[in-house]
Structure 1
Amino acid sequence: MADAPPPAVTVIVPTFNREAYIAETLDSVLPQLRPGDDVLVVDDGSTDGTPALIGSGVGSGRWPLRYLRQENAGKSVALNRALAEVADDRLVWIVDDDDVAMAGALERMRRPLEEDAEPGFTFGHYDYLVREGGDWVTRPTPVFDHPDEPLHLSLLRRCFIHQPGMLVRRRCYAAVGPFDTALRRSQDYDMILRLSRAFRGLEVPGPLFHQRQHEGQRGAGEAAVAAEDRARAWMRYDALIFERVHADYPFDEFRAMVRPRGHAEGADLDVAARIARAGVMARKAQWGHAANDVASAAALLPDRPSRRLTPAELWDLSEVFGWAGHGLISLDDARPFFHALARLPRRERVRALRAVSARLPQRLRTALRRKRRDEAMLVLRAAALAGRSLLARRPRAPYE
């Protein structure tokens, strides 16, 4: 019997008021298609010239695509509607309406999935497309430096993959369920976490798309968010995701994710898993959960004086105030976390607080260089909290 033909690709482009950018997006995608592939644009109720622009492109034959339009309901609703149009045997490439795919990106992502039927998706790097002197220019992004550990654990710390840099089997979307319509922001991150938790991904070397950085509003309708408010909006919706992560992930799942570091079973592995989860939760401003994990880890250490925090565990803590975390934004709620760090034996407390503070000098220099006075003050407040915890007498009772 002849081999089955390779799966075809459906490109989904959700759009909302992107008249200025979507033409470049579509022109970057369409030349990459093979026969049998298709493009589906879902317009989430645009009020600018997007409908007319798409209509003229379709009518002239410039853009051979399907165009669906709905009342403004949010990106999640638009993506779920589009996925309902795609057969389970296809591959899905979701491309944001303001980004630009690099030539050959689709072929680079699809080839590994044609050669190996087991992985659920491929993923890769991107760079920035920024406005300088009236022109759009590309700049490298420094955020794709994920460590040698399970992909899902790295993604729990920060979302360094984006959907224009992913090609996913449609059956994987069916398995993990629809986009969460309660999330008007961070719905992509939520879906990427679900996919990476359930399926193996293959990394494609090199950048795949240009992520446009601009000051336009993000989000749909009443959930639209101005550029300067993005960080707080992401924090609010990420909090919903990570409350669910903490509630739904069995602790054994975190133990499994850190087991490749070489810990034996038992208390050593429990300390490692709790420190890893604490780092994840603190980055997402889930300070109470992070504090409880640090306190639980601290309770395991006094009776085992030979047990030191490992380089990997210190690295977990060093990510708390790293780039793209929410820790500084929610610093008023961070005191329980620092109080829990004071529960560690003195020697390990010093090492842990050094690790937590490791990113602060660079963040202070960056804030001062960019004249962001408020951010600089937050960095100094974080350093002061760390200093007070370093000098504190070890509490007699565990943090509750």
Structure 2
Amino acid sequence: MKTNPCITVLMPAYNTEKYIGEAIESVLQQTYTDFELVIVNDGSTDGTRAIINSYKDERIILIDQPNMGVAAALNTGLKYSKAPYIARFDADDVCHPQRLEKQIKFLLENPEYILVGSDADYILENNDFLFHFHCIAHSHKEIMEKLYFYCPFMHPTVMYKKANVANAGGYPTDAHNFEDYLLWTAIAKQGKFCNLAEPLIKYRLNPASVTIDERWRGRRFRELKRDAIKRGHITAEEGNELLAIIKSQDVRKIKEGSYHALCGKKFLANNYQPEKAREHVKKAISIRPLRLDNYLLYTVSYLPEKFILWLHRMSPNKL
């Protein structure tokens, strides 16, 4: 076990037996090796813990806790981490081999920066490529211009200085599903931000993910999130309301419907394959037949590619 690693790879895990082995392998195969892998098992009830324990690499540290949610799991991991730099990573994603090497090189060579993220390759639950994701901003100037309107980082791509996050009190546990975004606004004045313009992870979309298309969450969820970001903090009462919304939607139909609708959108706007898009949209319609936006999306799939791309550029949040 490393006593003073340079990087802590921080991975929360909850019922990820289908994917966590591939995620762990991708970390252990990094070209940069001065790291520890802290995995916080957040009360998993499947075979997640057994899979973690099947690895004998001394760099892996397993921490068990009752199911408390991702923000609490991350704060637990930060408490036990030994390194000055934290690389966030999810238990259903895949690291590109040079991910750690490229990000730590950037931070060491640019000490005024406290956080660096990257682009990503989206994949489906079966590992098929979906599309290449370009961050909405890459330079510090671009990121700060958009920070209070859109989250500029994909959470599992970021590497940051632990001290700055500790100074902000860690992840806000009441900001359910946007604990990372609210944290970035809290540390924004402590240093500079950057996104590397290359994919450093494969980000897996799957129906079991806690993150679904926010348009499916409803207007009230988006209002609570927007108000918290503008203020820079969230109350416990608002957190309870957010959690109630999320729990009411934590059902197979909503998660699977959201997953297929999102895949349909991406197969039109980001990786134009209309036949695959229609396959996913038809599944979304069969799961939630009363959602009219899916019928509109299905109709749009028959329009010319140029028109779809124009429509996406003009109103990306609609498509």
Query: Structures share a fold, TM > 0.5?
Result: yes
* Residue 374 (str. 1) matches residue 292 (str. 2): yes
Q: Distance in 2 between matches of 1:91 and 1:27?
A: 20
Report how many residues are paired: 245
Equivalent in the alignment of 2:238 = none
Verify: 1:244 aligned to 2:228, yes or no: yes
2:119 and 2:133 in contact (8 A); partners too: no
In 1, Cα distance between the equivalents of 2:179 and 2:155?
Answer: 11
Rg: which structure is higher?
A: 1
Query: For 2:192, which of 200, 203, 218 is the aligned residue?
Result: 200
1:117 corresponds to which of 98, 111, 115: 111
Once the 2 structures are TM-superposed, how far is the Cα of residue 159 of structure 1 from its aligned partner?
A: 2.6
The equivalent of 2:303 in structure 1 is none
DSSP 3-state at the match of 1:38: strand
Structural RMSD (CA): 3.3
Whether the 8 Å CA contact 1:12–1:92 is kept in 2: the answer is: yes
Shift of 1:67: 0.3
Aligned equivalents of 2:13, 2:218: Cα separation in 1? 19
Percent identity between matched residues is: 25
Question: Match for residue 131 of structure 2?
Answer: 140
Deviation at 1:236, TM superposition (A): 5.0
Deviation of residue 14 (structure 1)? 0.3
1:52-90 C-alpha deviation (Å, 9 max, x unpaired): 111222xxx257411000011111111111111234x61
In structure 2, what is the Cα distance between the partners aligned to 1:238 and 1:15?
A: 26
User: How far apart, CA to CA, are the structure 1 residues paired with 2:224 and 2:136?
Assistant: 26
Q: CA deviation at 1:144?
A: 2.4
User: In the alignment, does 2:17 pair up with 1:19?
Assistant: yes
2:102 is equivalent to residue 108 of structure 1 = yes
Q: Superposed, which structure 2 residues align to 1:124-273 within 5 Å?
A: 124-131=118-125, 135-146=126-137, 149-196=141-188, 198-218=190-210, 231-233=215-217, 236-247=220-231
CA 1:124 to 1:21, structure 2 compared with 1: closer, same or farther past 3 Å? same
Question: 1:217, 1:163 → 2: CA distance?
Answer: 14
Q: Is the 8 A contact 1:186 1:238 kept in 2?
A: no
Instruction: Tell me the residue number matched to 1:54.
Output: 52
Amino acid at match of 2:80: E
What amino acid sits opposite 1:120 in the alignment?
A: I
TM-score by length of 1: 0.54
User: Which of 64, 80, 85 lines up with 1:85 in the alignment?
Assistant: 80
> Any conservation in 2 of the 1:9–1:92 contact (CA below 8 Å)?
yes
CA 1:216–1:130 in 2, change beyond 3 Å: closer, same or farther? same
Amino acid at match of 1:181: T
What is the aligned counterpart of 2:8 among 3, 7, 10? 10
- Cα distance in 2, alignment partners of residues 194 and 106 from structure 1: 24
In the alignment, residue 121 of structure 1 is paired with which amino acid? L
The answer to whether the 8 A contact 1:186-1:234 is kept is no
Is the 2:71–2:179 Cα contact (8 Å) retained in structure 1?
Answer: yes
In structure 2, C-alpha distance between the alignment counterparts of 1:93 and 1:193, rounded to whole Å = 18
More off after superposition, 115-124 vs 236-245? 236-245
Separation in 2 of the partners of 1:119 and 1:7?
Answer: 20
Q: What residue is the counterpart of 1:323 in the other structure?
A: none
Counterpart CA distance in 2 for 1:237 and 1:30 is: 38
Q: Distance in 2 between matches of 1:98 and 1:165?
A: 13
Amino acid at match of 1:118: E
C-alpha contact (below 8 Å) 1:129/1:138 kept by paired residues: yes
Contact 2:38/2:62 (CA < 8 Å) preserved in 1?
Answer: yes
SS of corresponding position for 1:18: coil
How many Å separate the matches in 2 of 1:139 and 1:63?
34
Mapped partners of 2:143, 2:160: distance in 1 = 15
**Rounded Cα–Cα distance in structure 1 between residues aligned with 2:168 and 2:35:** 24
Matched letter for residue 101 of structure 1:
C
Q: Name the SS of the counterpart of 2:175 in structure 1.
A: coil
